[in-house]
Amino acid sequence: MLFSSTDFLFFFLPITLFIYFVFLRKTKKVKNYFLLLMSLFFYSYGEPKLVLLLITSIVTNYIYGLLIDKYRERKGVSKLIIILMLMTNLGILMVFKYLGFFVSNINGIFKTAITIPNIVLPIGISFYTFQAISYVIDVYRGKGQVQKNILNVGLYLSFFPQLIAGPIVRYETIAEQINNRKETFDDFSKGIYRFLIGLFKKILIANQMAVIADFAFDNGPTSVAIAWIGAIAYAIQIYFDFSGYSDMAIGLGKVFGFKFDENFNYPYISKSITEFWRRWHISLSTWFRDYVYIPLGGSKVSKSRTIFNLLIVWLLTGFWHGASWNFILWGLFFFVLLMIEKNIIKPDKERKWFGNFIMHIYTLFSVLIGWVLFRAVGLENVITYIKSMFGLGNIPLYDYNVSIYGKQKLLFFILGIIFALPLFKKLEELFDKNKFVNAFLVPIIMTAIFLICVSFLIKGSYNPFIYFNF
């Protein structure tokens, strides 16, 4: 079920809110059980059979959490439990997400004819698997109390706002909130506001850019201009698709009294790739930092070992996004750029405005090339697309598609650029200081945004969600 769907907006969400706040407002434990029930229904709405895999993850990691808590003083036993936990969770992820990739590559390399298994990729498996690992490791590290009630583990892993496309909520972040949180009218109103901002990003920017990006990438660029327009459209689409979903997830969490960490911080204003990854998909980059990079030794080892640790992190970051060489090379691409920055460019040093401008252009250009590598299907198409961007293909500089896909969507390009900058954040800060604006103007604006988004949904506008694939 999509957040940006009429089923969710007019049936699932209103019913959930009504029961939660009208009938269950004074029963803490029952509230959690109700949210768990609705979360499992939310997931099974689209995948009725694969919800059993999610339930399996809940049960197995609940048991691992109890075992870790029981044997935490016995280092050898607790480490063995951690190893078994990782084998279980990563093994499930490997089978359902990567088995076909490995079999097809074995067939290609060794000229074998092993049948490639036709396994459906469960939505959100990468997200809830990482959260499951976070739960057990955080209990092991003493960063959150073990849950003796399996239903609370179930709520943590399956809570519907962040279940299928993140952000990755670490157990230590909400361990205390599961049983001890307080819903307030202020949080409720701010949560709905944040949800509507995310809905706006998704429907009125990401979906419109998807039409352009899909034309350019799926059919191949028809001109140099279309190649650039398509790449820029995809850069806008993927940012607003995922940051919009994160806004909706964070907003819904706030409605129910949960405080989720931010997942995006205006990444396209970055002046280096290092800064970009501090601002983009923060929950994923910090997860890899704290659960992979630092346990490997981080930067507190030799220079060569630090480089190796970063290589592992970026290989895994790429592979996490999908079972394709494109994603692996995408991860390696950013690893190389980060190594160049760390050892040559040194992006954190002071620069004058012109130097900052050059660094900003370099960052945007590098990220744009990275998104081409991320989006194009197959390495051959990646090469063809990048060649087209630089006029190396047998295509004209400009064609009639520029008018169809560029000029007609100009308003949405402008909206994408405006919302990718901190200008809107500054406007929000001004609104917060004006009681009249907060009390009267903001509700009117939010109502208008909701009605416009609904009108687009009713018209049946294109409505994909990129991160459902991960």
Which member of 254, 271, 321, 342 is catalytic? 321
In this structure, the number of other CB atoms found within 10 A of the CB of residue 340 comes to: 13
Residues in the chain: 470
Active site residue 321: yes
Residues 6+ positions from 355 with CB-CB distance below 8 Å: none
74 by Cβ neighbours in 10 Å (0-12 / 13-18 / 19+) ranks as exposed
Sign of the C-alpha dihedral, residues 190, 194, 195, 200? positive
Can you say whether residue 100 is alpha, beta or left, with left for phi > 0 and alpha for psi between -120 and 50 degrees? alpha
DSSP state for residue 464 in the 8-state scheme: -
Which structure tokens are listed for 49? 């059979």
Which structure tokens are listed for 139? 């209990």
| CA–CA distance, 143 with 220 (Å, rounded to integer) | 49
In this structure, the number of other CB atoms found within 10 A of the CB of residue 328 comes to: 19
CB burial string 278-292: b at 16+ within 10 A, e below: ebbbbbbbbbbebbe
Residue (of 170, 391, 367) closest to 287 by Cα position: 170
Active site residues: 321
